[in-house]
A and B are shown apart, each in its own frame.
Chain A
Amino acid sequence: MGDAEPASRNAPSGNPANQHVKTVVVWDRPLRLWHWSLAALVLIAWVTPNTYDSLHRFAGYAVIGLLAFRLVWGFVGTRHSRFDKVGLRLRAAPDYLTNLFRGNTGRYLGLNPAGVAMLVAMLGLLAISTVTGAMQVTVRFFGVWWIEDTHAYSSQAVIVLAGLHVLGTLLMSVLQRENLVAAMFTGRKHPPGSAPPRQGAPSRERVVHLQQAEPDQARQRQHDPQHQGGPSVVPDPGPTSRTQTDPVSIGD
């Protein structure tokens, strides 16, 4: 279960020289199997309505099974399969998307807030689609128009979301220079801060600067009395340099 945890914590503090090749386990094997099975079944269900009824129905029932598995796995799976952070990241999704359109990509090891929103929407729509699909072929709900319409619209929405999911994955792969499609096969990703993207690097540099800044400041303070004691022509660099490197004003 927790085999990904130590690796993901240790990696950022590892040797900077090979950080770009270091990866950690993010997606556990059952989740990956679930993902690709679901993708295949949705694809099958998409091309079979009305023409291959039995195959269409098989795909639908199988998806119901996969949804049930995902629900359980959301509580007992490994870190990035679990639903703990779903509420939190869902609330962050609108801001995340706004920032994304401004070209600012926040980096997450598991699903980013947009991905979480996609997951929730997709699971919900798949549940609606499959349940109404199954209801359609019961004697009670056969030929009931609103069941049929709900099934049709929710199913088409699933396909549109799947398309957006693919686009979003490709876009993030490019923006963050991480092959996310491969990650869903291998289960491994680069931990935040180890890859070269814009997010991790600047914050790390800043930390380094702050650590260097402190001894500098201390030296300056020691020199200050000498400056004050000397000719007053020399402008006092103390206050200006102090505000620029002050850990408090930059650190936030």
Chain B
Amino acid sequence: MKVMNAAVAALAIGLFSGSAALADGYKNCTKLDKASWKPTGDAEAKAKDAGYEVRQTKIEGSCYEVYGVKDGKLFELFYSPEDLSLKHTKAK
């Protein structure tokens, strides 16, 4: 049964890494070192200024991903942590 345990473990690892690799959307915003990134709060402030209700902000790859709601519609806003420029807008 050692073989089966190993097979199960290998399968679980394979599936997890597989799903992690597949689950990538937009994620390249800057090459700047993380230490010199601008704070996430600045990105949220930019979204608010643009009329979005900010729900949450995550780091996705080298992007700030801001969850915003505007006029009852859902958006994911991708800002560059380097200069806070809006790189990508995704309607959900």
Contact = CB atoms under 8 A, between A and B. Distances in A.
B56 A51 contact: no
Given A137-B74, A163-B12, A171 B23 contact: no
Q: Is the interface of A mostly helix, strand, loop or mixed?
A: helix
B15 A167 contact: no
A9 B64 CA distance: 64
Contact of A167 (B11, B19, B67, B69): B11
B16 interface: yes
B33 interface: no
Nearest to A51: B25
A126 to B, nearest CB: 16
A10 interface: no
Interface in A118-176: 137, 139, 142-145, 156, 159-160, 163-164, 167, 171
A139 B19 contact: no
A47 interface: yes
A49 interface: yes
A143 B24 contact: no
Interface string B47-89: 0000000011000000000010100101000000000000000
Among B15, B24, B72, max chain A CB count under 10 A is at B15
Size bracket, chain B contacts? 20 to 34
B47 to A, nearest CB: 11
A76 to B, nearest CB: 34
A101 interface: yes
Interface string A226-241: 0000000000000000
Contacts of A47: 22
24 contacts: A47-B22, A50-B23, A50-B24, A50-B25, A53-B92, A137-B74, A137-B92, A139-B69, A139-B72, A139-B74, A142-B69, A142-B92, A143-B56, A144-B55, A156-B15, A156-B19, A159-B19, A163-B11, A164-B8, A167-B4, A167-B7, A167-B8, A167-B11, A171-B4
